[in-house]
């Protein structure tokens, strides 16, 4: 089944942003103050019924938080698609509280929703809640982040995270000219530090794996030098992709390893982490210009695009939430109707109990040279929104 996303979904996104329970815009793209998860605000989208909606045909959507625009946008798009297809929608935001998400999921199961779409706060904490869903024959789709350690997950809808990691790695090689065959004194080296995604997120591990596939030969050859020695995922992962933690970690690394040198590359796997790196660099006297650190990112958030335009961030990987959210909604409708849904990967996403059938969407690296073309062609942003 194919569901058409109407352009007015972005009006809903704007409304959701304004209705974010008093959230304030953070300076320089930082995390806004997180709203408290209460009965009044835990479900911003609430339950929407289309004109053809039948009572009881409810799809439950469980999102980690409202602190990142990607979760709000995705929920809004899925809400629109499913409502147009004739389903009611119940959406909950857990505000990065795993226990809160468990309670919300258990309540949805009690309400006997027809399908659950889950982007987990903590990928390994939902086993019991989703087993209850399985007992009631409620299909479960893991969205963007893979739910671990349960066979109750029927499908995974996400991005090709390995390729996204490779795109970050290859961008670094390209910008620093490392692919050119040089040896001896003619082979320059660059310092690099890594700031990876949530340690609970299997997708973040895949991004790291893709990065290392590209960069490890250059680390082994000494063309890239990580002074801290932190290159493994478990040593570089940052809980909840926290901007504040990224900033603190970067400042600590700079103080311990770069008082007598310059950090050339900050390889981060998300825009939120990149914002923290910018703050850390500025706090340690780095100035925008020729010697500014090459900072990577992922998600192509508006703040990241502004930072790219201004020269604070070199690139981001665009993961189009419109395509993924629409595809996930289609998968949910197929599950409810008992139809076979399309997948394009059967082996890559292993959650500890099985290889979860997956639909993976593509990604694209964007920088100052191409972000307008890529982002405008996608329809995700308008000309008025871009710097």
CA 359 to CA 328: how far, in whole Å?
A: 9
CA 50 to CA 9: how far, in whole Å?
A: 14
Query: Residue 385: how many CB atoms within 10 A of its CB?
Result: 12
Give residue 264's pLDDT: 98
Give residue 18's pLDDT: 33
CA 353 to CA 233: how far, in whole Å?
A: 22
Give residue 188's pLDDT: 87
CA 139 to CA 320: how far, in whole Å?
A: 25
User: What parts of the chain have a pLDDT lower than 50?
Assistant: 1-53
CA 174 to CA 243: how far, in whole Å?
A: 27
How far CA 255 is from CA of 78, 123, 193, 262, 312, in Å, comes to: 45, 33, 13, 11, 21
Beta strands in 291-344 (DSSP E): 294-295, 315-318
Q: Are residues 173 and 376 in contact, defined by beta-carbon separation less than 8 angstroms?
A: no
CA angle, residues 328, 331, 332, in degrees to nearest 5: 90
Give residue 185's pLDDT: 63
Give residue 90's pLDDT: 96
Give residue 17's pLDDT: 38
β-strand pairing of 315-318 with 58-63: unpaired
CA angle, residues 191, 208, 236, in degrees to nearest 5: 60
β-strand pairing of 315-318 with 364-367: antiparallel
Give residue 334's pLDDT: 97
Give residue 343's pLDDT: 96
């Amino acid at each position: 089944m194919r569901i058409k996303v109407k352009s007015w979904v972005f009006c809903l996104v704007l409304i959701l942003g304004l209705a974010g329970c008093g959230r304030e815009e953070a300076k320089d793209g930082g995390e806004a103050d997180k709203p408290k998860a209460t009965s009044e605000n835990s479900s911003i989208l609430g339950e929407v019924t289309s004109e053809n909606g039948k009572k009881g045909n409810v799809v439950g959507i469980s999102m980690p938080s409202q602190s990142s625009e990607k979760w709000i946008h995705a929920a809004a798009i899925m809400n629109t698609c499913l409502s147009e297809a004739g389903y009611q929608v119940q959406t909950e935001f857990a505000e990065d509280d795993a226990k809160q998400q468990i309670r919300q999921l258990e309540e949805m199961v009690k309400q006997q929703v027809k399908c659950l779409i889950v982007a987990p706060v903590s990928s390994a904490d939902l086993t019991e809640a989703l087993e209850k869903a399985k007992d009631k024959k409620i299909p479960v789709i893991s969205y963007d982040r893979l739910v671990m350690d349960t066979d109750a997950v029927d499908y995974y809808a996400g991005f090709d995270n390995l390729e996204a990691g490779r795109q970050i790695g290859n961008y670094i090689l390209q910008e620093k000219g490392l692919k050119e065959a040089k040896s001896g004194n003619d082979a320059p080296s660059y310092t690099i530090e890594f700031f990876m995604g949530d340690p609970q997120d299997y997708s973040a591990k895949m991004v790291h794996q893709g990065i290392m596939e590209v960069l490890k030969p250059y680390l082994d050859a000494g063309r890239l030098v990580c002074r801290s020695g932190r290159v493994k995922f478990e040593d570089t992962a940052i809980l909840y992709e926290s901007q504040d933690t990224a900033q603190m970690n970067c400042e600590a690394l700079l103080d311990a390893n770069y008082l007598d040198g310059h950090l050339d590359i900050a390889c981060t796997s998300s825009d939120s982490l990149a914002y923290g790196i910018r703050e850390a660099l500025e706090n340690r006297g780095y100035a925008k210009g020729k010697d500014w650190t090459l900072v990577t990112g992922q998600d192509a958030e508006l703040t990241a695009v502004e930072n790219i335009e201004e020269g604070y961030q070199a690139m981001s990987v665009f993961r189009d939430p419109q395509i993924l959210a629409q595809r996930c909604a289609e998968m949910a409708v197929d599950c409810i109707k008992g139809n076979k849904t399309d997948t394009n990967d059967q082996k890559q996403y292993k959650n500890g109990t099985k290889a979860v059938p997956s639909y993976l969407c593509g990604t694209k690296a964007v920088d100052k040279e191409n972000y307008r073309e890529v982002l405008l062609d996608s329809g995700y942003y308008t000309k008025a929104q871009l710097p």
